Amino acid sequence: MNISLVIPSRNNLKYVKYAYKSIRDQIGSDVEIILLDDASTDKTWDWMKSVEGKYTKIYRNDGPQRVGHTVLYDVGADMSSNEVFGIFHADMIATPNYVKNMIKHVKRGTVVSATRIEPPLHPPGPEKIVENFGLEPEEFKMTEFLNFVKTQENLNEDKSTSGIFAPWIMYVEDFKSIGGHDKRVFAPMELEDSDLFNRFLLAGYNFVQSRDAFVYHMTCRGSRFKDGVQIYQEIPVGGGKVWKRSKDSEEYTTLRQIKFREW
């Protein structure tokens, strides 16, 4: 079964380039990737044009104002050449078996999520693994990360639990049948995923988290930490783990307040 991976980006060129390279290097040259530029000013569009091809589609919001990933994920779904599509953040790194271990769970009326591996920039949770392999592409420890993933895949082979969060995949038809993201209320971003997941649930969709499908997630580089990771507090969270709390961008803080009221 083929899949299309949808990746919006706004002024985070070094991350989206690394995400794209990880998919091509780890998964293959024939996976359809849909890259969407949201009025970037950092030469993102020039780079996207340079990689456009048979298995790489591109789209640009010319701006001058951004529309947000709330809109662009749905544009990507419309552009998909395949029945199944998935969202993939521009600050994520793919693993060799990511698609294979997601696709095996997909069926009509089901949303399949991967298991994120993240640095300690957020509190730990049962839905993810907190391990620090790097905060930036230029320092990322790819070999150590892939060795860690192999171990986790062996420990969790074919295991799944119930849950939903990014990145996820599903049938395009199922996504469109509930109207996709709520672009009237939750554009350009923030809590659009909570609203979407709630409507998935109300529509009776099943949630499956694949415990042997992994991505690394540098987290929030297009929104909450778009101004860079600025650690201002270290909080022990048990088990020898420390939450390295980073400063939120002013843009994120303002949008979060507005969208919480809407929510």
Instruction: Give per-residue pLDDT as tens, 138-178.
Output: 999 999 999 999 999 999 999 999 999 999 999 999 999 99
Q: CB under 8 Å to 28, separation ≥6 — which residues? A: none
Instruction: Give per-residue pLDDT as tens, 69-110.
Output: 999 999 999 999 999 999 999 999 999 999 999 999 999 999
Rounded Cα–Cα distance for residues 150 and 123 (Å): 24
Instruction: Give per-residue pLDDT as tens, 30-48.
Output: 999 999 999 999 999 999 9
The answer to whether 73 and 45 are in contact (CB under 8 A) is: no
42: its two tokens: 């950092």
The answer to whether 9 and 222 are in contact (CB under 8 A) is: yes
pLDDT of residue 149: 98
- Residue 1: is its pLDDT beyond 90? no
DSSP line for 69-127: HHHHHHHHHHH-SSSEEEE--TTEEE-TTHHHHHHTT--TTEEEEEEEEE-SSS---TT
pLDDT of residue 233: 86
Angle (deg, nearest 10), helices 44-51 and 13-26:
20
Instruction: Give per-residue pLDDT as tens, 186-213.
Output: 888 888 999 999 999 999 999 999 999 9
DSSP line for 147-160: HHHHHHHHHTTT-E
